[in-house]
Structure 1
Amino acid sequence: MPIRTNGYTDLRSYGAIGDGRTVALIALDGSIDWFPVPNLNGTPVFARLLDESEGGSLELTPTQAFTASRRYLPGTNVLETTFTTDTGTAVLTDALVTGFAGRLPWAELARRVVGVKGSVRFRWRVAPGTCLSTASPWIQKTAHGPVIRVDSVTIAVRGIDHGPRGGGDRALAGRFTTSPKSHHVLAVAGTSNEPLHIPQPELTDSGIERTVKNWQHWSEEFTYDGPWKDAVERSALALKLLIFSPTGAIAAAATTSLPESSRGGKNWDYRFAWIRDLAYTVHALIRFGLREETHASVSWLLKTIRANGPELHVFYSLDGAPPGSVEKHDSTGWRDAGPVVTGNPASGQLQLGVFGDLFDVMRLYVKAGNVLDSETGRMLAGVADRACDDWRRPDAGIWELADTRHYTSSKMGCWQALDAAVELAELGQIPGDPARWRSEKGMIQEWVREHCWSETLQSYVMYPGSEELDASVLLHATSGFDRGERMSQTIDAIQKELARGPLVYRYSGAEAEEATFVACAFWLASALVCIGRADESVALMDELIGLSNDVGLYSEMIDADDLSFLGNLPQGLSHLALINAAITIEELTRDK
């Protein structure tokens, strides 16, 4: 039986399902401990993940001791869990169902239990929480049966042979017992600030098969036949969960406030859209031939920049607005490792790497056979001019640090932006004479070579004058800034100081305050193949692929000692780094 400590379970225990609008996290014991209804970026109605006593959950679990195994149905984000007890076996299928025309206009969760052999007694309980200590749920009787209300959210629970037994005045609950081929369904639907369509459990039940077919149809549309195919396809499906379909924005992760260290701390909200993540996502989407998601994401980004410009923000809310302030909530946090917050303090920072991220998106988009509009071309020309000046400024760096410095990877990002700007100008996609961009690009390269290299360490350093290392420099083997001996020596230095087995810390000193950063390890694999060390790259990838959880998901961080998950999850950047490492290795070794 999966173990819970003080009501909490290991983060590795969670599988994720979604519908293009929100994501639910399901523990191995069948409890849904995270489920914002109906939008991912809303205050979560079900948040036991962050507050065991008041967070709320949707429990569905055997009443006796059991073992559990699970899988995603092939090519889908529909999760199947098999429970085995001394008396029998039953299978739980979980899906956020989709409609005939795509995403439903409300959130609708289907939980189906089918008896396989013998009998298994189950209990279920739908108990919304306090919306991070901001509201109190209550049961309201209506002419169409009871509904649960909490803050602006209305939730209805219906079912097939689900044995309702009450649950008090703040929850709905019940019990049932399976038998061979028995069929039990729990249907949960919810809306916010709008009327609620009461679910018809028979339609919700049939919606599971429709949802499976919809996911499998999407999976058939993308093509990848390279190495680590299963892991790449699962990562693509995980990323699809994070694409907020109402706008095309891509959430960095599905959760907030999960600590980056087992000791707690660095609890941030990642339910925002970073330009950096979108750049890496577009690379993957283009490689997979997914035209609709690519165009939707690029269009969202350009419209959002124009609406909130002229300055670039590091990230935006999923609806395209600038992120608001950080708010702390009176909740305990996962395993009491608070604080619980909504919002992210990095919103007001200067991060020069965002120039490279933006231009990388545009270059990839154009090289995939698309054409930029005139307004976008003019906007990009202006951004390139700003990069010519701003690269000389100190910034917070890719890691959103409190100390502003002349971070090496930020300068490399500006080089990447101007390199792409020159190419786009030569392709006739942005106006103006690229002579200045070409000249400034050369100056950045010389400045980095002169100021950001340590003869003592034989490595690029985090910033001039330091003896600290920064794993984000590895990104610029892939960008093309350096694929020579200096980058190879930097890899050696990073492996010596920042690596723990196959895993990598973000920068010097990070081990004292956080776990290893999953994406950095995949960046290392990409960098290795870029500088010609393909055998090492492949060996590292083989190790890293084995570090996902049982259903192929990754969090933001992994503890190097016990391999436990830390940080928000599923983490888009982790899956993006896996995909892009696999693509890079496949492309650079294809003919060898």
Structure 2
Amino acid sequence: MDRAGALDRQNGYADLRGYAGIGDGRTVALIARDGDVDWLPIPALDSVPVFAALLDAEDGGRIRLSPVEPFTTTRAYVSGTNVLQTTFETASGVVLVTDALVTGVAGRLPWTELARRIDGVRGTVAMTWSVEPGRALRTAMPWVDRTVHGPVIRVDGVMLSVTGFEHGPNEPGTHSLDGAFTTSQGSRHLFAVSGTSREPVHPPNPRNVDRGIDRTVENWRAWSREFSWEGPWSDAVERSALALKLLIHSPTGAIAAAATTSLPETINGGKNWDYRFAWVRDVAYTLQAMIRFGLREESQAAVSWMLTTIRKHGPELEIFYTLDGRIPDDIVHTQAPGWRELGPVVCGNDAKHQLQLGPYGDLFDVMRSYVDAGNILDAETGRSLAAVADQACDDWQKPDSGIWELEEARHYTTSKLGCWQALSSAVHLAGLGQIPGDPARWEAERDRIAEWVNENCWSEDRQAYTMYPGSDELDASILLHAPSGFDRGERMSLTIDAITAELGSGPLVYRYSGMREEEATFVACAFWRAGALACVGRMDEAKSLMDELVELSNDVGMYSEMIESGTLDFAGNLPQGLSHLSLIYTAILISELDA
């Protein structure tokens, strides 16, 4: 297919299922199947992106690389890495493109460096490339500045340098740089985009960049060698762990919920949110996975970031924080049209104004896992956690917005169970001498919550735990409280069946009652169902469901937030940490329960 009719593009927008992510510990680039880099915030993941064709095909900006003539592509990550290789095949020949966000000798580079290496495999292939920064979500205009050391592109404080070898650069344009070359068997070509924000830019030696790609491969493989998992679905678990690594913000240790903003949760548009923040829930789940895998450096950095940030703004828990540990600013609406013009495109998330009780359970569950893994809490952290547990004793009785960040505050069942989980873990940690105080109050309130849920949230008519007292609506997040230990008996088993009947669609699951008409299925919920089945002893069903779910990723093992049940199209932000976390967590849970 030709450049004008690129793979899976409608009006310039690629299919979300077609993206693959690469990263360097600070930002993430998303590459479509046709070779275009449609998303790359510089310098950090939460920066206003200067390459954002993902959200604005006309003015968002992209980095193009492809054959001139019609082509097909196949691709895969280099084993054990987040370095992507795409094979372009044309009538005249074959080329291999290796894409990396290059890392340095001592970790991430102090600038962003996207490297694109092109190797001729067979025949001859005419290639074209361009670096076309966008308008920073329609807030700025790029321009090419001809300096004594070559052209640079400036936009909204970001400065970009393009270097390479055997890449055939043309005369600079006014807003972009481009070039063309022809490969032959055994030829090597390269171009690299280096970027900084409000700092001087370093145009690297392209031969050093070429070596840097190989160094980046080895850096990723060295990390993967520390990864310890030999259980079932090992390939999917390893790829999900690598996807999560993309979302770890190395300057602070924070973990982003997703790499993008404003991708709609339904193919028809709507529910567009910015997930480039660190949710306490997602940080907690990620930490559990990293602790299980023995990844000491990342888990220690994330725990330290989380505790320091909570102490700074506590004892009340925020739902999420910025990647540098601040309380987020209010939401900003931009003029960008959104993916396939299904806006709005926003920076920020209105959930910051909500009360959610679930983070209490998330925080304490991960601290329990952290201590049980052999770590020791400092005195200040112990006092802080004791204060948070006391706060949970008061707050559990309040209505909140629930795990799904709903507009109407209610006494949601899973919110109460989040507090139950927090107080259960607080009692456990106090028994180990890790947090101070008399746990009698925590134990008493824990038992009161359990009694309240059993009396008010179980429906004999539905034969299920319902979303909130007096309702007949169902909520898939209740499935999280089979693994939490609240209920692994008959009531939970019946609830699984009720959720499957009303919210299920094949192996996939909608979030709660009524969502079938509004949005796509929520990927994490499907994995939660598999985990809950294992907890109630329905192991064969759990394994069979996992077998189906691990096949629903895209061609390089990546998951978005949601999947349309009929078409299997991706929806929502991506790569979505919670989707990959849920795969990992469920694989571990099934393996341990089946041992």
Q: With structure 1 as the length reference, what TM-score do the two structures score?
A: 0.99
The answer for the alignment partner of 1:142 in structure 2 is: 147
Instruction: Report the alpha carbon displacement of residue 407 of structure 1 after superposing the two structures with TM.
Output: 0.1
Query: Residue 315 of structure 2 contacts residue 387 of structure 2 at CA under 8 Å; is this kept in 1?
Result: no
The answer for the alignment partner of 1:37 in structure 2 is: 42
The answer for the alignment partner of 1:345 in structure 2 is: 350
Q: Structure 1 residue 333 and structure 2 residue 338: aligned?
A: yes
The answer for the alignment partner of 1:482 in structure 2 is: 487
Residue 581 of structure 2, aligned match among 572, 576, 580: 576
| CA offsets 1:118-169 (integer angstroms, 9 cap, x no match) | 0111110100000001110000011100000001100000111100113520
Deviates more, 1:556-565 or 1:377-386: 377-386
The answer for the alignment partner of 2:57 in structure 1 is: 52
Query: Residue 315 of structure 2 contacts residue 391 of structure 2 at CA under 8 Å; is this kept in 1?
Result: no
The answer for the alignment partner of 1:381 in structure 2 is: 386
Residue 394 of structure 1, aligned match among 378, 391, 399: 399
| CA offsets 1:3-35 (integer angstroms, 9 cap, x no match) | 311001100110000000000000000000000
| CA offsets 1:206-254 (integer angstroms, 9 cap, x no match) | 1000000000000000100000000000000000000000000000000
User: d(CA) in 2 for partners of 1:4 and 1:283?
Assistant: 38
Task: Specify the code of the residue in structure 2 equivalent to 1:332.
Answer: P
Instruction: Report the alpha carbon displacement of residue 289 of structure 1 after superposing the two structures with TM.
Output: 0.5
Task: Specify the code of the residue in structure 2 equivalent to 1:276.
Answer: R
Instruction: Report the alpha carbon displacement of residue 307 of structure 1 after superposing the two structures with TM.
Output: 1.5
Residue 566 of structure 1, aligned match among 562, 566, 571: 571
Residue 427 of structure 1, aligned match among 402, 420, 432: 432
Task: Specify the code of the residue in structure 1 equivalent to 2:380.
Answer: E
Residue 104 of structure 2, aligned match among 95, 99, 102: 99
Written as runs of structure 1 = structure 2, the 5 A alignment for 1:292-331 is 292-331=297-336
Q: Structure 1 residue 201 and structure 2 residue 206: aligned?
A: yes
Residue 121 of structure 1, aligned match among 126, 145, 170: 126
The answer for the alignment partner of 1:72 in structure 2 is: 77
Q: Structure 1 residue 288 and structure 2 residue 297: aligned?
A: no
User: d(CA) in 2 for partners of 1:391 and 1:345?
Assistant: 22
Instruction: Report the alpha carbon displacement of residue 309 of structure 1 after superposing the two structures with TM.
Output: 2.0
Residue 502 of structure 2, aligned match among 483, 497, 511: 497
Q: Structure 1 residue 110 and structure 2 residue 115: aligned?
A: yes
| CA offsets 1:66-110 (integer angstroms, 9 cap, x no match) | 110000000000000000000000000000011111110000011
Query: Residue 188 of structure 1 contacts residue 199 of structure 1 at CA under 8 Å; is this kept in 2?
Result: no
Find the residue that maps to 2:108 and give its secondary structure.
Answer: coil
Q: Structure 1 residue 212 and structure 2 residue 217: aligned?
A: yes
Task: Specify the code of the residue in structure 1 equivalent to 2:278.
Answer: A
Find the residue that maps to 2:9 and give its secondary structure.
Answer: coil
Find the residue that maps to 1:165 and give its secondary structure.
Answer: coil
The alignment yields a C-alpha RMSD, in angstroms, of: 0.6
Find the residue that maps to 1:239 and give its secondary structure.
Answer: helix
The answer for the alignment partner of 2:241 in structure 1 is: 236
User: d(CA) in 2 for partners of 1:46 and 1:589?
Assistant: 46
Find the residue that maps to 2:482 and give its secondary structure.
Answer: helix
User: d(CA) in 2 for partners of 1:3 and 1:525?
Assistant: 32
Instruction: Report the alpha carbon displacement of residue 386 of structure 1 after superposing the two structures with TM.
Output: 1.1
Query: Residue 167 of structure 1 contacts residue 174 of structure 1 at CA under 8 Å; is this kept in 2?
Result: no
Structure 1 gaps, min length 5: none
Task: Specify the code of the residue in structure 2 equivalent to 1:149.
Answer: R
Task: Specify the code of the residue in structure 1 equivalent to 2:516.
Answer: E
Task: Specify the code of the residue in structure 1 equivalent to 2:404.
Answer: W
Task: Specify the code of the residue in structure 2 equivalent to 1:550.
Answer: D
The answer for the alignment partner of 2:4 in structure 1 is: none
Find the residue that maps to 2:192 and give its secondary structure.
Answer: strand
Residue 24 of structure 1, aligned match among 22, 29, 50: 29
* Residue-pair matches, total: 590
| CA offsets 1:33-86 (integer angstroms, 9 cap, x no match) | 000011101000100000000000000011111110000000000000000000
User: d(CA) in 2 for partners of 1:307 and 1:387?
Assistant: 18
Q: Structure 1 residue 520 and structure 2 residue 525: aligned?
A: yes
Find the residue that maps to 2:443 and give its secondary structure.
Answer: helix
Q: Structure 1 residue 224 and structure 2 residue 229: aligned?
A: yes
Task: Specify the code of the residue in structure 2 equivalent to 1:506.
Answer: R
The answer for the alignment partner of 1:173 in structure 2 is: 178
Instruction: Report the alpha carbon displacement of residue 310 of structure 1 after superposing the two structures with TM.
Output: 2.8
Query: Residue 46 of structure 1 contacts residue 57 of structure 1 at CA under 8 Å; is this kept in 2?
Result: yes
Query: Residue 394 of structure 1 contacts residue 406 of structure 1 at CA under 8 Å; is this kept in 2?
Result: yes
Structure 2 gaps, min length 5: 2-6
The answer for the alignment partner of 2:447 in structure 1 is: 442
Written as runs of structure 1 = structure 2, the 5 A alignment for 1:347-362 is 347-362=352-367
The answer for the alignment partner of 1:187 in structure 2 is: 192
Give the 4+ runs in structure 1 shifted more than 4 A: none
Query: Residue 521 of structure 2 contacts residue 563 of structure 2 at CA under 8 Å; is this kept in 1?
Result: yes
User: d(CA) in 1 for partners of 2:74 and 2:244?
Assistant: 23
Query: Residue 40 of structure 1 contacts residue 254 of structure 1 at CA under 8 Å; is this kept in 2?
Result: yes
Deviates more, 1:146-155 or 1:164-173: 164-173
| CA offsets 1:182-227 (integer angstroms, 9 cap, x no match) | 1110111000011111121110111000000000000000100000
Instruction: Report the alpha carbon displacement of residue 308 of structure 1 after superposing the two structures with TM.
Output: 1.6
User: d(CA) in 1 for partners of 2:121 and 2:450?
Assistant: 64
